[in-house]
Structure formats: C-alpha cells, structure tokens
Amino acid sequence: MIKQQLAGAAIISMSLLVVGCANAYQSSEGSQSYSSSKVGAITQQTAAGNILADAQGMTLYTFDKDSQGISKCYGPCEQKWPPLKSKVEIDEMDFSTVSRKDGSLQLRYKGQPLYLWVGDKKPGDTTGNGIKGVWHIVPVVK
C-alpha cells in the first residue's frame, strides 16, 4: 500500500515537473524567467551572480567585437563560442533575433548576440568570463 502511494506521488510530481518545464523555467532563487519554448533563455544564480543562461542552464556570453547587434564570431571563433540559435524570430521583452551569414537566427539580449562557451561543462560554469578581455557573462539585474 505504501509503495503504491509513493509511486503515485512520484508520477504526479514528475508530471508537474514536465508541465512546468514545458511552459517556463523559474529558478530556485525566484529570479525572472523567460518562456523557454520561445526565447530559450533563463536566469541562473551562480557564484558570479544572477546571469543569463540557455534553457539547459548553460551560461551565455556576449562578445565585445560584435557591432550594431551583428555577430562577428564565425569560423574558428564560432567553434569555440557557438551562437545561441533560435528557430523562430523573436522580438519580446529584452530579446530579439538577428540573421547570421548562414541564414540561421541568433538570439540577442538587449541587442547583443548571445553565445555559449565550449569550456563550460555543466550548468552554472562561467569559465569563459573575461577570456581575452572580450567575452563576458550577461548579468541580469532583478
């Protein structure tokens, strides 16, 4: 009887978790969340503070050499700093998209193209912050 009750509670909990993740992400710190189904970005509490991350919790970065909201990171650069791509055009809150040379869409935050860093291995890692003085985490102020 107790095993059946625990199994039922686990199924209900998993169902609620799946539904919650499909709609939006809310960090445990109660920080701002964005619709992961459309925007693909969340806020993540890290040792570096409250920062922007992709829907899997991987830290996002901006590149100082980008200008006028257009990416300058191609070839070997984009191998190390994959652009955060979007399947649909976005223009909501502080987020928008910009077309890359290959026609794909890259997500921008406040006009800045967003990137991942291949050196980050798990959610919350910020090992790309400050590399060559031109790569920066994206702080999110509450």
The structural domains of the chain, with segments of one domain joined by +, span 27-137
Dihedral (Cα; 120, 123, 125, 130), 10-degree rounding: 70
SS3 77: helix
The CA distances from residue 81 to 16, 32, 62, in Å, are 34, 25, 10
pTM score over 0.85:
no
Going by C-alpha positions, the residue among 50, 21, 53 that lies closest to residue 37 is 21
How many CA atoms, within 13 angstroms, populate the side-chain half-sphere of residue 78?
15
**Residue 56 DSSP one-character state:** T
Tell me the per-residue pLDDT of 99-119, one tens digit each, with 9 for 90 and over.
999 999 999 999 999 999 999
Tell me the per-residue pLDDT of 46-87, one tens digit each, with 9 for 90 and over.
888 999 999 999 999 999 999 999 999 999 999 999 999 999
The first and second tokens of residue 39, run together, are 């925007």
CA–CA separation, 83 vs 42, rounded Å? 16
